[in-house]
Structure 1
Amino acid sequence: MTDTTAAAPHHSWFHRNRKTITPWLFLLPGILFFSVYVIYPIIQSINLSFYKWDGLGEAEYVGTANYERLASDRAFTVSLFNNMKWLLLYLLAIPAGLFIALFLNQTVRGIRIYKSLFFFPFVISQVVVGLVFTWFYDPNFGLLNGILGAVGLGPINVLGDPALATYGIIAAGLWPQTAYCMILYLTGLNAVDPEQIEAARLDGAKGWRMLWHIIIPQLKPATFIAFVVTIIGALRSFDLISIMTNGGPFGSTRVLSFYMFEKALSEYGFRMGYGAAIAVVLFFIMLFFIAYFLWSMYQDEKGR
């Protein structure tokens, strides 16, 4: 008597776990590139910060000497303080971008022209932005002093005044950054649930109450991205400073990224280890803020 029951086919380990393995196979190229071009350079920079090296000769291990020198380096302190100014004032781009997006989300005549005008700063180079604002601030023929003169105020040299130069560069950076936040919020507003808005209107919500309790909670993903991108943009601000003041006057507009460049690549001797130490400090400042927002986002999602 023969056994008519068909033997169960023997499946391989890959076949049994294909649902788990397949997503990782798609992610593998991205993980590989991220590891080689992001993770490995970070580890290399941290390691380099413990050495004295000119970029050509043999590196000399100095332990934490580079970090100890940072503690007494006045130029580093000024750069760090300027980064905090950038960080606080750059965040103004987020509410500004939100309110511009709310305006552009209306169905009014000529709205496409307005969208194009507000979108324009985002597509031009930071170098162009720096040049435009340098001309705008020029004490001899700049438009700013022309406007001040028209209302009876004296000329000011924004980029030549150590007390004003940093704020002038931040204002230049806010122009394209606000446009970027506006784009994020315009995308987020397209995903707002119209049924919730209609229900809120029936309950009598309007104006600020509608915005605060109905619209903004639905824009949390866009707000999260706007915060992360704005914080990173504020902390790595280099190109505008290089174009507009080159760190001057008297080093008053330096930030950590620019000071790192000066120490590692611009000064004679090429202090690569010291520049790497500055880069590590900047990296951990960024990491702190990004980790905080990721944790806040995770807690918010877990609480739902």
Structure 2
Amino acid sequence: MDRTIARKSWYRRNEIAVTPWLFLAPGVLFFLVYVISPIFQSFHLSLFEWNGLGGENNAAKFVGLRNYEELMTDSAFEVSLINNVKWLVLYLLAIPAGLFIALFLNQTVTGIRLYKSLFFFPFVISQIVVGLVFTWFYDPRFGLLNEILGWVGLGPVNMLGDPDLVTYGIIFAGLWPQTAYCMILYLTGLNAVDPEQIEAGRLDGAKGWRMLWHVILPQLKPATFIAFVVTIIGALRSFDLISIMTNGGPFGQSRVLSFYMFEKALSEYGFRMGYGAAIAVVLFLIMLIFISYFLWSMYREERGH
């Protein structure tokens, strides 16, 4: 009885501090089990050669860092890594594009609800649908792209069949819904912009680009941070569009790390779980570097204030 009373009295004394952790506990538990644990499992699996099957004849064989050494001489991995760099650089165009569309949609003009619906539309459709739409758009026989090029006197282009152009064509397709997502983030951020600061900026003579750079953008830093993180993660994943539009072709020139990982680990051409895990580790480290940099930048700015 005394122990029960003591426990109750301890909880009542620490109720304000403990209650938030009780609400967070299920989410933290799921995060540890389904996010953190698989990361360490991938590191561990990358040190083995294993086809993913059970039985005595298919036991995992420890090979140390041999999978990582093989990556250094794998031309397909090199192509995938270069394509991921292209995705990272060009996919970031979605952020300024989303910002300027949000600034336009934040105005009070006739028909603004219709414009918002049109720009919001790409966000609500799946990546599979986006991939199919752009596959038809790029089709060299009846695609709208070659129709438009024909109007200005340019020859037909086989966007998805040209090894030099295919990655850029898929990136452009991915920018469509990603720009819509960044637009939504910035629209939400613009609703929280302090009108008093804008009025103060006008009194100081700020307008146009000066108003945007010195008054509005500093208040949009949280939205910009989220846009950067989500866009970088989207650029490094980029699996579904490639799978739908080219399946890694032509000649493997549209592969990225996530798709190459799938080919090596889970497709009928691979079944090398350890090698696929090594690719996943490299992909994770690249993502970790970018996200850690942005987190450190945000922390440093907050500490400076």
TM-based fold match above 0.5: yes
- Counterpart for residue 192 of structure 1: 193
Q: Once the two structures are superposed, what CA deviation does each residue of 1:81-132 show, in whole Å capped at 9, x if it has no partner?
A: 0000000000000000000000000000000000000000000010110011
Task: Report the equivalent of 2:229.
Answer: 228
Aligned to 1:224, what secondary structure does the other structure show?
Answer: helix
Q: Residue 98 of structure 1 aligns with which residue?
A: 99
Note the 1:235-250 alignment, pairs <5 A. Answer: 235-250=236-251
Higher-Rg structure is 1
- Secondary structure, aligned partner of 2:266: helix
CA–CA separation in structure 2 for the residues paired with 1:37 and 1:269? 25
Question: What CA distance in whole angstroms lies between the structure 1 residues aligned with 2:71 and 2:254?
Answer: 18
User: Aligned partner of 2:43: which letter?
Assistant: I
Distance in 2 (CA, whole Å) between partners of 1:180 and 1:37 is: 25
Query: RMSD over aligned Cα, in angstroms?
Result: 1.2
Cα offset, 1:293, TM superposition: 0.4
Q: Which residue of 2 aligns with 1:265?
A: 266
- Equivalent pair of 2:138/2:160 in contact (CA under 8 Å): yes
1:41 counterpart residue number = 38
Gaps of 5+ in 2: none
Q: What is the distance in 2 between the residues matched to 1:164 and 1:295?
A: 36
- Structure 1 residue 32 corresponds to structure 2 residue 29: yes
State the SS of the aligned residue for 1:156: coil
Could you say which residue in structure 1 is the equivalent of 2:172?
A: 171
Alignment of 1:254 onto 2:255: yes
CA contact (8 A) 2:263 2:270 kept: no
**Separation (CA, whole Å) in 2 of partners of 1:248 and 1:51:** 29
* Residue number in structure 2 paired with 1:12: 9
Matched, 1:162 2:159: no
Deviations 1:155-206 (A, max 9, x none): 0101100000000000000000000000000000000000000111111110
Separation in structure 1 between the aligned mates of residue 112 and residue 137 of structure 2, nearest angstrom: 28
**1:135 corresponds to which letter in structure 2?**
W
Q: Sequence identity of aligned pairs in percent?
A: 81
Residue of structure 1 aligned with 2:51, choices 36, 51, 54: 54
Partner of 1:21: 18
| Equivalent in the alignment of 2:66 | 65
Instruction: State the alpha-carbon separation in 2 of the partners of residues 50 and 219 from structure 1.
Output: 43
Corresponding position of 1:5: none
C-alpha separation between the residues in 2 aligned to 1:257 and 1:22? 40
Question: Could you tell me the TM-score, scaled by structure 2's length?
Answer: 0.95
Report the Cα offset of residue 20 of structure 1: 1.9
Please name the residue that 2:298 is paired with.
Answer: 297
Deviation at 1:14, TM superposition (A): 2.7
- The size of the alignment, in residue pairs, is 296
In 2, the alpha carbon distance for the partners of 1:208 and 1:96 equals 15
Report the CA distance shift for 1:25/1:75 in structure 2 as closer, same or farther (over 3 A): same
Which consecutive unaligned segments of at least 5 residues does structure 1 have?
Answer: 1-8
Distance 1:287 1:202 in 2: 43
Shift of 1:292: 0.6
**Deviation beyond 4 Å, 4+ runs, structure 1:** none
Contact kept, 8 Å, 2:47 with 2:66, in 1: the verdict is: yes
Query: Take 1:14 and 1:105, find their aligned partners in 2: how far apart are those partners?
Result: 48
Q: Aligned AA for 2:20? A: P
